[in-house]
Structure 1
Amino acid sequence: MITSRSIVKLTSKSLNQGLHFQKCQAHVGWIGLGFMGTPMANHLINKCNSLVVYDINSAAVEQFKAKECDRVFTMVPADPYVIEVFSGSNGLLTKAKKGTILMDCSTVHPNTSKKLLQLSNDAGVDFLDTPVAGAVPAANAGTLTFMCGGKAHLVKKVESLLLCMGRRVIHCGDTGAGSAAKICNNMMLAISMIGTSETLALAQGLGIDLKMMTEILNISSGRTWCSDTYNPVPGIMENVPSARDYKPGFKVELIAKDLGISQSCASLTDAPTPMGALALSIYKAMTNNGHGERYFSYAYQFLLKKVAGGVRKS
Structure 2
Amino acid sequence: MEILVAGGAGYIGSHMVKMLVKAGHVVTVLDNLSTGHRSLAKYGELVEGDLADTALLDNLFAQHDFKCVVHFAAFSLVGESVTNPAKYYRNNVCNTLNLLDAMVKHDVLNIVFSSTAATYGNPVYTPMDEQHPQSPINPYGASKLMVETLLQVYAKAYGLNSVALRYFNACGADPELELGELHDPETHLIPLVLQAASGRRDSICIFGEDYPTEDGTCVRDYIHVLDLCFAHQLAMQAMLSGQLSGAHCFNLGNGEGFSVKQVIDAAQAMVAQEGFNIKVQQAERREGDPAVLVANADKAKQTLNWQPQYTDLTTILRHAWEWEKKQPGLVGRNFVY
Which TM bucket (shorter chain)?
0.3 to 0.5
TM-score by length of 1: 0.41
Higher-strand-fraction structure:
2
TM-score by length of 2: 0.39
